[in-house]
Chains A and B, each alone.
Chain A
């Protein structure tokens, strides 16, 4: 079986600084993989390389066996890679529903229709509303995205990603900057997606309990390099990881 996403010697340099350096991994379909590492390790940059926001300086990326290193963001999305952003990235002056509806429209490949009203695509709004329900955003349909609370914006970010219905989901710190009360909701949403067993998920997170519960596999990034890669238990037991990142902070898991 070919893996859904694979990198070979993937790297990018900003000037002299190698933000991502010789990263190799292959991920199987429906696997739940988390990427951890200290701030500035290069996690977001790695996602930017995978989703095409940045172009690799060296190495290759394969999606379902196809070399996509030279493909644009648009092409990668259409192939089935979707991502959410660490810094909330939505359409601020559009309503919550309209934000999600646009993603549904993209998924349905309605690109250039200009003679019909969007209101005639009833199913699009229906799908969008269902997704708003899944992401715990009901009753927020006609709130402008900029007026949502930070937690709700993060949920909207996830909702748009779900609406794209891509095979691969890249989630960049979905709980970033969230208040403690909001975290369980996001966790629940991600868990639901996982339970459906139709998606392959790559998650960047800092919250160790969340990672330990969800992940089939954990990759540790440090100074742009892949420091460790394995099952959660192995990673926790790994001494290099302990000293480099976890620093004994998460002793409870080694017990």
Chain B
């Protein structure tokens, strides 16, 4: 099986790189780099959760920030209102996951019956509702100004937090790999390919879409909670469209429907973000990094519609094809 072989190769590389990343903070001390990597891991989880929707089920959502924000605010509010202890970190995570599960279920019920673009618009509107809600409910959120909070000492240790996010990312990656190889995951892909045909095989597609969006919502909420911990600060921007766009950009640049693509995309975007901001000294244009991402996005869609992973796989296929031809030439020649 060619397909599963390529899958395995991706996973092996991923695992090897992850192992290197585990020892990285022990051999190389660079606070900045540590922080960037932590961000990459967090956004990789977020982007992978988005890939379940976009890449596997073919659901286009413009409201994924909704769940990221719920996770971020659950964590922040718990840390602010209660003691910064690990117990409350876990409680906050559970509450965030629980809330996102409910919201994604309701969103699923309300909107998954709609055709793609209507669904996309509705999720955009709903996420905006959360954004406005967070602005207005100042007593809890302090609006756009936001608030800082303390976190447990264990997590304040940058290396610890780095390792936790890394391990979580690896776990999510392998869990999703298994998920996507499961009978359930195969039906999701079938839905993306041909919804009506999937139905006529006797699969109840609404259930699949709802379960997929709940899983995506839960993972996004965990990413949001980690994000809040990493900043020790939260404001309404966690609900903003930029967050959704990040996920969209990461999955598309990395390669939609590949899981590993989301991780690569997260790395590419976070690093280029960092690099572009460091160029601000040279010219003010670099402050408008979103312009560059826009250009990057257009170039990707035009030249690598299947993202980095897709382009690599195509290259490899081509190489193998040529090799085959060479061999058959030799045999006939």
Contacts and interface: CB of A to CB of B under 8 A. Distances in A.
Interface of A: 51, 53, 73-74, 77-78, 83, 89-95, 98, 101-103, 105-107, 110-119, 121, 142, 160, 164
22 contacts: A51-B200, A53-B196, A73-B200, A89-B194, A89-B200, A90-B194, A91-B193, A91-B197, A93-B193, A94-B190, A101-B186, A105-B187, A111-B184, A112-B207, A113-B182, A114-B182, A117-B181, A118-B181, A118-B182, A119-B181, A142-B2, A160-B201
Given A94-B189, A94-B193, 18 more contacts: A74-B202, A77-B201, A77-B202, A91-B190, A91-B197, A93-B193, A102-B190, A102-B201, A103-B201, A110-B183, A113-B182, A114-B179, A115-B178, A115-B182, A116-B183, A117-B182, A142-B2, A164-B202
Given A78-B202, A119-B4, A119-B181, A105 B197 contact: no
B199 A73 contact: yes
Given A73-B200, A74-B203, A103-B201, A92 B181 contact: no
Interface in B270-303: none
B204 interface: yes
A117 B194 contact: no
B183 A74 contact: no
Interface string B116-132: 00000000000000000
Contacts of B189: 91, 94
Interface in B180-233: 181-187, 189-190, 193-194, 196-204, 207, 211
A106 B189 CA distance: 14
A106 B201 contact: yes
A118 B200 contact: no
Contact of B184 (A106, A114, A142): A114
B1 interface: yes
A92 B192 CA distance: 11
A166 to B, nearest CB: 9
Nearest to A146: B193
B314 to A, nearest CB: 14
A122 to B, nearest CB: 13
B316 to A, nearest CB: 16
B201 A116 contact: no
Given A94-B189, A142-B1, A116 B182 contact: yes
Contacts of B198: 102
A17 to B, nearest CB: 23
Contacts of B178: 115, 117
Contacts of B211: 112
A116 B204 CA distance: 20
Contacts of B182: 113-118
Contacts of B196: 53, 89
A118 B199 contact: no
Interface string B230-273: 00000000000000000000000000000000000000000000
Contact of A74 (B179, B193, B194, B204): B204
A103 B202 CA distance: 9
Contacts of B197: 89-91
Nearest to B194: A91
Contact of B200 (A83, A105, A112): A83
A117 B4 CA distance: 12
Nearest to A83: B200
B4 A106 contact: no
A85 B207 CA distance: 25
Contacts of B193: 91-94
A245 to B, nearest CB: 29
List 7 tightest A-B contacts by C-beta distance, closest first: A77-B202, A114-B184, A91-B193, A106-B201, A117-B181, A114-B182, A110-B183
B328 to A, nearest CB: 17
Given A94-B190, A102-B190, A121 B200 contact: no
Most buried by A among B181, B189, B199, B201: B201
Nearest to B189: A94
Contacts of B184: 111-114
Contacts of A115: 178, 182
A134 to B, nearest CB: 18
Nearest to B203: A106
B277 to A, nearest CB: 38
